[in-house]
Structure 1
Amino acid sequence: MHTRPHAHSHPRPSEAPMSRQQRDALDALFRSVPRSEVPPAPAEQRAGFAAAITRPGPADVAVRRTVLGGRPALEFEPAGAPARGRLLYLHGGGYVIGSPDTHAGLVGELARRAGLPTTSVDYRLAPEHPFPAALDDGLAAYRELLATGTDPRALALAGDSAGGGLVIATLLAARDAGLPMPAAVAVFSPWVDLAVTGESVRSRKDADPLFVEADLHAYADHYLGADDRTHPLASPLYADLTGLPPLLVQVGTNELLLDDAVRLATRAVAADVEVTLEVGPGLPHVYQHHYGRLDEADAALDRTARFLTDRLDAARSDAVRSDVVG
């Protein structure tokens, strides 16, 4: 088992050509959006986020509405996907905004590249449904997949931003409930410290074109209210991460949550978890959303797809060997 994070500074020349012009254009676009001194109400934030971020899924990925764990969900079925496993995805949005529809492009792209049927869950949002509603929904979805016959060795999880933190929290709750772990987990720019103590929240404030520190506190207030900001199932940075499956963490240097990702990887290593940490220079929060217009986003999704399928293939091989020995 690898117990040291593989910290890569991407792009690599052979995988993702330098695209400073693309990054600069994206940064300028983000900075051109007017900011309000007073945060908008959640309903207004949701509408604005949906208008800004929503992209359709790939043409060769069928999408249908379904229900998982008692919650609405989107099911993504890539054309010709081999029977190698499936993916459960939890979207980002600070636990306040976002949905499977806003993330249909990103999730569909990941499903297509990995060749994995994927379910994206519409977990309940704060402030209408504060902690632990989102966690309960994530765990219910995971439980139902296992209960309906999905072999955990053929299952992977992924998520971005708050959804990345929720993926980790869901697996911790599953572990504590005695459920088996999946084959792998991947998170993009995970928010895992709702106490907002990372040094990058201050040191990267000028580099981050999307967020200021007050945004993070506002989302945490909506989700947690007066609850403890360091509760390990709300802020998995403070949890014992022992027993988690192989973990891929991708983050950009131009984001307040850089240290959330780095500290998560470090704590996972201390818990003897296999970790791959990828830090992309000059890249913003969840830069993977910008596939097709940012070279590093396409390369990151390709690497994530390989990471997940390699672990699923390895788990399947281990299962076959175990069956033969048994």
Structure 2
Amino acid sequence: MSGQQRRALDEMLRHAPLDVGGDVAKARAVFHEMMTSIPLPPDVTTTPGQLGGVPVVTVDAPGSDPSCVLLYFHGGAYAIGSAADAASLAADVSRHCGARAVCVDYRLAPENPFPAAVDDAVASYRALLDQGIPSARIAFVGESAGGGLTVATLVALRNVGLPQPSSATVFSPWADLTVSGASATGKAHLDPALTPQALRTRARDYLGPTTATEPLASPVFADLTGLPPLLIQVGSHEILLDDAVRLAARAADHDVHAELQVWPQVPHVFQSFAVMLDEADQALRSAAAFTRTHWAPAAKTAAGTVPDAPLQP
């Protein structure tokens, strides 16, 4: 692990042009340019489609097991970002897990406030089940707002009686839209990417008239009983550190298998920077091992082969 790598990443993020809490249209354009500035590896394919009427982008890396699906929820404070913008990190997760990733293009605020994102996430998962893909061969992955959405979606699935996926991994989850965690102020001077003010602005956009303590918006306030195993990864140099810590504690309070990994001196969603940060690659490997551990063995056909369950448009 290189202190020089961490310092270089911190410097790059502090000088990035993105203002998360600024004008939405401009932020979306800048974020898209940042996230797509480095081409995907030539062996990665992306295929647009739909699941349950929700736009998705399927990301495949070599060696992907067609019987397994990573349902991926992108970040962007519920107002910026897209499935296409998340393809690079989703491809890294796909490659490490050996499974295709399906990035959900859930509707964004302020045009589509809560619960639009949760509704789209549930619809996309329900569509996978309807295609015959067993819940035990589906895992959820989410980053930042997508991490909070991941856990909120699990709660929503439980509430409507749908089976849980095999596991969920969240990177730097935004799980408290009240932005009241101690690290929101205590870590502000260390976080090179996010500010409490920016998150409060985007929270207002997403929540509309909904209270910020609504469990399906801020899962740190939810009853997490019955959720699948959770892996929570977070950096110690980010204002959302406390969201991750409290989310793990909340899961433990409700008898959910939860693993919390706090990676020292790294920023928000550091897993995105595997090309320049050793810790990012190590975290991705850890997340992949966790995911593979909780997948059920693939069902066998009469011929003894694993059935291919391709996604349908």
Q: Same fold (TM over 0.5)?
A: yes
Aligned residue for 2:88, secondary structure, equals: helix
Q: Distance in 2 between matches of 1:123 and 1:222?
A: 15
| Aligned with residue 48 of structure 1, among 30, 33, 37 | 30
Aligned residue for 2:99, secondary structure, equals: coil
Q: Give the counterpart letter for 1:118 in structure 2.
A: A
Residue pair 1:56, 1:104 contacting (<8 A) in 2 also: no
Q: What is the RMSD computed on CA atoms of the aligned residues?
A: 1.7
Give the deviation of 1:30 after TM superposition: 1.6
Q: Give the counterpart letter for 2:32 in structure 1.
A: A
Q: Distance in 1 between matches of 2:18 and 2:58?
A: 35
Residue pair 2:76, 2:144 contacting (<8 A) in 1 also: yes
Structure 2 match to 1:234: 217
Structure 2 match to 1:129: 112
Give the deviation of 1:77 after TM superposition: 2.1
Structure 1 match to 2:248: 265
Q: Distance in 1 between matches of 2:254 and 2:297?
A: 24
Residue pair 1:189, 1:252 contacting (<8 A) in 2 also: yes
Give the deviation of 1:84 after TM superposition: 5.0
Identical-residue share of aligned pairs (%): 48
Q: Distance in 2 between matches of 1:35 and 1:118?
A: 26
For structure 2, list consecutive stretches of 5 or more residues without a partner in the other structure.
Answer: 301-313
Residue pair 2:229, 2:256 contacting (<8 A) in 1 also: yes
Matches within 5 A, 1:1-326: 18-33=1-16, 39-54=21-36, 55-312=38-295, 315-316=296-297
Question: Any idea what the Cα deviations from partners look like across 1:107-135, whole Å, max 9, x if unmatched?
Answer: 01110111101110110000000001111
Give the deviation of 1:227 after TM superposition: 1.4
Q: TM-score scaled by structure 2?
A: 0.92
Q: Distance in 2 between matches of 1:210 and 1:246?
A: 29
Give the deviation of 1:69 after TM superposition: 2.1
Q: Distance in 1 between matches of 2:75 and 2:64?
A: 26
Residue pair 2:135, 2:165 contacting (<8 A) in 1 also: yes
The answer to which of 60-69 and 163-172 deviates more is: 60-69
Pairs aligned (count)? 299
Q: Distance in 1 between matches of 2:257 and 2:172?
A: 18
Residue pair 1:58, 1:109 contacting (<8 A) in 2 also: no
Residue pair 2:66, 2:100 contacting (<8 A) in 1 also: no
Structure 2 match to 1:15: none
Q: Give the counterpart letter for 1:169 in structure 2.
A: A
Question: Any idea what the Cα deviations from partners look like across 1:299-321, whole Å, max 9, x if unmatched?
Answer: 11111111111111xx228x89x
Runs of 4+ aligned structure 1 residues displaced above 4 Å come to none
Residue pair 1:61, 1:112 contacting (<8 A) in 2 also: no
Give the deviation of 1:147 after TM superposition: 1.1
Give the deviation of 1:59 after TM superposition: 2.6
